[in-house]
Structure 1
Amino acid sequence: MQRSLLRPDPAQRGRLVEIRDNLLGRIAEAEREGWLGEIEGLQVSLAGAQSKISQIDRAPRTGPVMLGMPAREPV
């Protein structure tokens, strides 16, 4: 599985949860209706949404790190 180098925006967590919940509902509907081909595609999308939510949840909650100015060596 290829991993994205981009980090999901923590501000989008709520939207990702909505997407995940919608996918769960669509998977349940596909199972009830016997749409086997649809289920597989939805499960792939669900795994991606869950992965992004997990990335956000694991990300450190710290702000920017101040590195300071480098010292100049005397000439």
Structure 2
Amino acid sequence: MMRPEHAQRPRLVEIRDNLLDRIVEAEREGWLGELEKLHNRLSGAENKLAQLDAEAARRTHLVYLGMPAFSQIPVRTTDDITADTP
């Protein structure tokens, strides 16, 4: 499965809208076989849009981990090393 690029989002919206129009036409004309295919394609387009939205949401929720100060870094001394050895 290919990952959509965010730059392609307007095109995906256009495809989804076109599929919705074609579904309305197929229902009006009674094209039952065509309806199933269109619904499958619509589902795929909506899934791709949901992927793009989820990825955009993940990118906006950055976590600042910070940089520890030297005073926060634990220091081992030779006394600590000799205490660890039996």
Q: Same fold (TM over 0.5)?
A: yes
Aligned length: 58
Q: Which structure is higher in RCO with an 8 Å CA cutoff and minimum separation 6? A: 1
Unaligned stretches of 5+ in structure 2?
61-86
Is 2:28 the counterpart of 1:29?
no
Q: CA RMSD in A?
A: 1.0
Structure 1 segments of 4+ aligned residues over 6 angstroms from their partners: none
1:14 equivalent in structure 2? 10
2:75 equivalent in structure 1? none
- Partner SS state of residue 57, structure 1: helix
- Deviation, 1:61, is 2.4
**In the aligned structure 1, how far is the partner of 2:10 from the partner of 2:29?**
29
- Deviation, 1:7, is 1.6
Structure with larger Rg:
2
Unaligned stretches of 5+ in structure 1?
63-75
**In the aligned structure 2, how far is the partner of 1:61 from the partner of 1:30?**
39
1 or 2, which has the higher helix percentage?
2
Q: Percent identity?
A: 64
Is 2:57 the counterpart of 1:57?
no
